[in-house]
C-alpha cells in the first residue's frame, strides 16, 4: 500500500514571548486532526510542540505535496493563529508568510518534510518505524552534521558496514540561497563524502533535502531545508527545521541516528536568531524557558501497522535520563559562548544576521564611512585631508 508520512510544523503564537503555544492552540489543532481522520482525509495524525512550534505528523495515501493535506495543515494553523490573536499571544501567525498558499506549503513559511513509500510490501522492509526531529531557535542546516555522521560515518553508525547499507546513501543537498526554485545536487557517500562535507559545513546556505538508500532506492530521510528570510525577504524568525527519518533494518538504528547529537554541536540561532549556540536535545513538548534560549531539538518515534495507522504509543527519545548529561554539557557550552557576547564567532556574521534591526544598524553606519585622501591622492596628514563620501 502506497503511504505518505507528512510532517508540517509552524510557529503561530506563544505565551509570554517565544516560549510555547497555549493549551487552547494545541487542542484546536488536535481537534482538527481528529476531524480529518474521521472524514478519511488522513489515516492517522499526531500533534506536539517543540518550543513555540506546533508540529502535525500525518499518515495518508495522497502522496507528497498534496493540496488537500497541505491545505488542511494551513487551516489548522490559521485556527491556532486565531486563538493566539484572541488571547494576545506573541508572534501570532508568524510563520504563515503568504495570504493564500498555492496548495503546497513549501515556500509558504511552515516547515515541511514528507516521504512516500510502499508500506510493508517489500521483503527488505517487513516493519516500518520512523522518527521525527523537530528543532526550535535554530537555522535550516541544524541537522547537517548529525545526519552526515549517521549516514556516512561508520564511527557513528557501525551499521554502514553491514551488507544492506554498505553501498552507502545518496545525499540530495539544496542550495538555500537560490530563491528561483529548489536548486539540488545529488552526491553519493562514501565516494563523495568530502564533497558532501564541503557543502554541509555551511549550515546557513546548504542543507540536506533528502537521503536515499543506494542499495534499495528507498528514501530514508526528508528535511525541511528552506530559509524563511529568503522566502519572506526579511527576518521573520529562525527557520526551525523538521526532519523525518525512517530507521532500522536497511537504515541506521535510532541509537546510530541520535548518537551525533551527544555533541550538542554549535548552530546559528538562539535569541533574535543571530547567535551561535549549542543544540540541546530535549523531551517532547519542552518550552523555551531556559537561560538564554538555546536552540533545542526533540525526537519522537513511531511504528506503523499495515493500514498506515500509528501504533498506540510513541517513544520520546530525548526523555531518557542518559540525555541529562548532554543537556548539562550543552548549557556549559552555551555559558562559555555567551560570555563572549557580541564579539566575533559568538554571533553570526553580518551576511547572516537575520534580525532586521541589526542589519539596519550596521547598514546605516556603513553609509557614514568616508574615504580620506590627501591633495596628491596619497595618504592624508591629520587635519589636512580631503574627504570623499564612501559609496
Q: How far apart, in whole angstroms, are the C-alpha atoms of residue 208 and residue 389?
A: 44
Residue 234 designated active-site: no
Plot region of 264 (φ>0 → left; ψ -120 to 50 → alpha; else → beta) = left
Other Cβ atoms closer than 10 A to 1: 12
Catalytic residue among 11, 44, 192, 209: 11
Active site residue 11: yes
Q: Which residue ranges make up the annotated binding site for beta-D-fructose 1,6-bisphosphate? A: 18, 90, 103-104, 137, 272, 355
Give the CA distances from residue 69 to residues 28, 63, 72, 76, 251, in Å, rounded to whole numbers and listed in that order. 17, 9, 5, 11, 27
Greatest Cα pair distance, the chain, in angstroms, is: 84
202 annotated active-site: no
Phi first, then psi, for residue 213 (nearest 5°) are: -70, 130
Among candidates 257, 258, 262, 221, which has minimal Cα distance to 241? 221
Angle between helices 67-86 and 23-38 in degrees, nearest 10? 150
Choose the catalytic residue: 9, 64, 238, 333: 238
Q: Which residues are catalytic?
A: 11, 235, 238
Amino acid at each position: 500500500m502506497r503511504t505518505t508520512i507528512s510532517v508540517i510544523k509552524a510557529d503561530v503564537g506563544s505565551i509570554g514571548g517565544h516560549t510555547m503555544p497555549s493549551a487552547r492552540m494545541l487542542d484546536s489543532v488536535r481537534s482538527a486532526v481528529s476531524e480529518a481522520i474521521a472524514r478519511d482525509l488522513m489515516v492517522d495524525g499526531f500533534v506536539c510542540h517543540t518550543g513555540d512550534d506546533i508540529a502535525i505528523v500525518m499518515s495518508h495515501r495522497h502522496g507528497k505535496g498534496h493540496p488537500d493535506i497541505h491545505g488542511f495543515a494551513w487551516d489548522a494553523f490559521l485556527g491556532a493563529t486565531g486563538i493566539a490573536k484572541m488571547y494576545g499571544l506573541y508572534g501570532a501567525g508568524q510563520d504563515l508568510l503568504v495570504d493564500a498558499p498555492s496548495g503546497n506549503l513549501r515556500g509558504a513559511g511552515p516547515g515541511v518534510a514528507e516521504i512516500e513509500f510502499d508500506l510493508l510490501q517489500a521483503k527488505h522492509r517487513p516493519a516500518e518505524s520512523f522518527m521525527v526531529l523537530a528543532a526550535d531557535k535554530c537555522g535550516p542546516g541544524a541537522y547537517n552534521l548529525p545526519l552526515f555522521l549517521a549516514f556516512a560515518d561508520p564511527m557513528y553508525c557501525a551499521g554502514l558496514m553491514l551488507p544492506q547499507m554498505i553501498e552507502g546513501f545518496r545525499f540530495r543537498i539544496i542550495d538555500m540561497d537560490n530563491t528561483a526554485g529548489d536548486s539540488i545536487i545529488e552526491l553519493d557517500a562514501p565516494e563523495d563524502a568530502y564533497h558532501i562535507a564541503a557543502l554541509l559545513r555551511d549550515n546557513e546556505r546548504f542543507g540536506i533535502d533528502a537521503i536515499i538508500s543506494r542499495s534499495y532506492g528507498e528514501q530514508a530521510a526528508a528535511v525541511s531545508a528552506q530559509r524563511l528570510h529568503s522566502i519572506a525577504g526579511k527576518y521573520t524568525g529562525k527557520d526551525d527545521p523538521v526532519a523525518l527519518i525512517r530507521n532500522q533494518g536497511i537504515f541506521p538504528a535510532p541509537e546510530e541516528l541520535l548518537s551525533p547529537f551527544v555533541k550538542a554541536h554549535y548552530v546559528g540561532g538562539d535569541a533574535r536568531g543571530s547567535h551561535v549556540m549549542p543544540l540541546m536535545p530535549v523531551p517532547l513538548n519542552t518550552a523555551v524557558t531556559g537561560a538564554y534560549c538555546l536552540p533545542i531539538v526533540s525526537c519522537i518515534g513511531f511504528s506503523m501497522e499495515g493500514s498506515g495507522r500509528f501504533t498506540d504509543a510513541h517513544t520520546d527519545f530525548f526523555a531518557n535520563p542518559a540525555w541529562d548529561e548532554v543537556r548539562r554539557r550543552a548549557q556549559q557550552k552555551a555559558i562559555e559562548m555567551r560570555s563572549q557576547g557580541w564579539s566575533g564567532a559568538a554571533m553570526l556574521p553580518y551576511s547572516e544576521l537575520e534580525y532586521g534591526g541589526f542589519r539596519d544598524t550596521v547598514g546605516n553606519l556603513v553609509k557614514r564611512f568616508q574615504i580620506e585622501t590627501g591633495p596628491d591622492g596619497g595618504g592624508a596628514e591629520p587635519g589636512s585631508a580631503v574627504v570623499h563620501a564612501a559609496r
